[in-house]
Chain A
Amino acid sequence: RKEVEQDPGPFNVPEGATVAFNCTYSNSASQSFFWYRQDCRKEPKLLMSVYSSGNEDGRFTAQLNRASQYISLLIRDSKLSDSATYLCVVNIGYGGTSYGKLTFGQGTILTVHP
């Protein structure tokens, strides 16, 4: 089983739609969780961190369910500029050489069309 799994999509949605991405992780010792965004042929960039209580940043809402080892990202009122690949990222973060390493999911492709 992969350490971080995402539905690769692609998701094709119209402008204004609400879309949700899911991600599961296998290591229950995982400490930190993130969503990164990657535009075509560009470097990944942090979109938002994911906190246990859930957190929101404008149109974006991230949720974490530790019991189910599940992370989600909700995008409301989709814009054309939201078209990108969304990477679910997990940091195990316990002692030894795993500390500070990120494990990336393969990414979910989103295309928002007019």
Chain B
Amino acid sequence: DADVTQTPRNRITKTGKRIMLECSQTKGHDRMYWYRQDPGLGLRLIYYSFDVKDINKGEISDGYSVSRQAQAKFSLSLESAIPNQTALYFCATSGSGIGYEQFFGPGTRLTVL
């Protein structure tokens, strides 16, 4: 089984709808991250959490919110989806420390019409 899972894998929604992307990990890591990837822009950090009680904004948090329900679960919500939030979304986890590798989930492809 995959160590980092994301649901759904693909989602098409309409402008104004609220949607939630979910991430679960079995690696026992404290740190979890949400990124979006757009062609030509690379991966950009939306939110990150270093433990269950810690939530931090990344570089592009506007229009998004997150919830860290447990060490293993980190969900991303779009309260009112808009077309420019169409992107590939990745969840990642890492251990503590500077050089710890980040492990990514398989991604969620979101299309907002």
Provide the bound-state CA to CA distance between A36 and B29, in Å. Answer: 20
Interface bracket on B:
20 to 34
Q: Mark A80-114, 1 if CB is under 8 A from B, else 0.
A: 00000001000101000101111111110000000
Q: Mark A34-69, 1 if CB is under 8 A from B, else 0.
A: 100000011111100100000000000000000000
10 contacts between A and B (CB under 8 A): A31-B99, A42-B107, A43-B105, A45-B104, A87-B42, A100-B94, A100-B98, A102-B45, A104-B44, A105-B42
Provide the bound-state CA to CA distance between A106 and B97, in Å. Answer: 24
Would B104 and A44 count as touching, CB distance under 8 A? yes
Min CB distance A43 to B, Å, is: 4
Determine the chain A residues whose CB is within 8 A of the CB of B45 once the complex forms: 101-103
B41, B96, B104 — most chain A CB neighbours (10 Å) = B104
Chief secondary structure at chain A's binding surface: loop
Would A104 and B42 count as touching, CB distance under 8 A? yes
Provide the bound-state CA to CA distance between A78 and B34, in Å. Answer: 33
Does any Cβ of B come within 8 Å of A32's Cβ? yes
Does any Cβ of A come within 8 Å of B68's Cβ? no
Contact residues of A between 1 and 60, Cβ < 8 Å to B: 8, 31-32, 34, 41-46, 49
Does any Cβ of A come within 8 Å of B60's Cβ? no
Would A43 and B99 count as touching, CB distance under 8 A? no
Give the interface of A toward B (CB within 8 A). Answer: 8, 31-32, 34, 41-46, 49, 87, 91, 93, 97, 99-107
Would A101 and B48 count as touching, CB distance under 8 A? yes
Determine the chain A residues whose CB is within 8 A of the CB of B97 once the complex forms: 100
Provide the bound-state CA to CA distance between A45 and B102, in Å. Answer: 8
Which one of A8, A45, A49 contacts B99 once the chains associate, using CB atoms below 8 Å?
A49
Would A43 and B90 count as touching, CB distance under 8 A? yes
